[in-house]
Chain A
Amino acid sequence: MPKSRIIKPIPPKSEQEELYDAVFGPNEEMSEDLADDILATYAVTGQMLVDKFKARLQERIKEIHDQTGEIPAPLEATMRNVRQYERERIPRTVGADEWVSEIFGAALLPSSHASPLFSFRTSSTGEISENDRDILSRLMLELEEADQ
């Protein structure tokens, strides 16, 4: 497979740029953490950038469409990809019951984990379990003994 490349000529780095690279590190090296720190000082968020990117991408697609009458396939695919990316980032809406059940549900516990002595259930789920009944009986007994 051919290597990635820029088709137009690339001006070589000047001595000044090389000096900057040596003092501050190559400009083309940027970690996400450092980017977060820098952008925070400009009050720029990632969502603002994604929104701007989407808007500019739409403008560019329209511009090319107006000029050629065709929708540029690569940019259309990019737009679909960005929309999909955003959809995947929105948390799934979950009902309160389901959410609480997920927290306490045994499915979340590893198989090696000791099983709890209680089981969470809502009033609509039905009778309490034998374990719960046993715990409650013992607690009642302890309370009665404490009173005496």
Chain B
Amino acid sequence: MISSRSPAVDWEPLLKRLTSAAYGLFKQYGLSDVLRGGGISADDLAVDALIEFFEGKTVKWSPQQPNEDPFPLIWIVMRNNLIDRIRKPGHQKTVLIEDVRKQDGTNQLESVTLFDSGLPNLLKRPGVGFTDAEARILAETFYPYAEGDQALIDVIVAVVYFQCRKRREIAECLDITPEDVTDRWEKLKYNYTRH
């Protein structure tokens, strides 16, 4: 099995892509650079997922083409592992006891950004869609990542106000090509994921 998967692997680019995606996952789940309670960092998450993938116990890798990219499959392993770790009681306990209270004793949740505290509530009714006020709050939480670039703001507007979710939907809404959407996503993702 391994002989069919190893020769085509270009390790360094694969590790770089996985680690960058892991930083994105950490941010998405509201985690700092090192996962509390588990003590793992984004690069640990990427490296462990890669080892798990090549160990072959939880993943069956049967490439249909010689140079098939294993990244999407390893990304799933990585995401699953992160979710497992977040669900562990140790992680929850650490957050509740150590992190919620600041040094001065005040509740840290009071200073959580609107996005972190408001989004789960807004998303409880995804089928209904957002009210104007909710959409405005949501859009404003994403705007900083556009850094004033109107093209990037347009993507956020298409997603939040026009409920576009897929690349093609956003492209049609903004009258641009799907490749343009990919380019704008890359800029937004960089602004969001970078340190």
A-side residues, CB < 8 A to B, are 1-8, 10-11, 14-25, 27-32, 34-39, 41-42, 44, 46-50, 52-53, 56-57, 60, 72-75, 77-78, 81-82, 85
Contact = CB atoms under 8 A, between A and B. Distances in A.
Contact of A5 (B23, B60, B126): B60
A6 B77 contact: yes
Contact of A30 (B17, B60, B61, B195): B17
B189 A7 contact: no
B158 to A, nearest CB: 8
Contacts of A3: 62, 64
Q: Interface on chain A toward B: helix, strand, loop, or mixed SS?
A: helix
B159 to A, nearest CB: 4
Contacts of A47: 12
Interface of B: 1-3, 6-7, 9-13, 15-21, 23-25, 28, 33, 43, 46-48, 50-51, 54-64, 68, 70-73, 75-77, 79-80, 83, 119-120, 123, 126, 142, 145, 155-156, 159-160, 164-166, 170, 182, 185-186, 188-190, 192-195
Given A7-B59, A24-B192, A32 B13 contact: yes
B190 A25 contact: no
B123 A7 contact: no
- 8 closest Cβ pairs, A-B complex: A25-B185, A35-B20, A49-B15, A46-B12, A41-B194, A81-B6, A41-B195, A77-B2
Contacts of B71: 28, 30
Of B70, B72, B119, B186, the most chain A CB neighbours within 10 A belong to B186
6 contacts: A29-B185, A30-B18, A32-B17, A44-B43, A85-B10, A85-B11
Nearest to B193: A38
Contacts of A34: 20, 186, 189-190
Contacts of B43: 44, 48-49, 52
Nearest to B61: A4
Contacts of B55: 60, 72, 74-75
Contacts of B7: 81
A72 to B, nearest CB: 7
B20 A23 contact: no
A4 B60 contact: yes
A21 B17 CA distance: 16
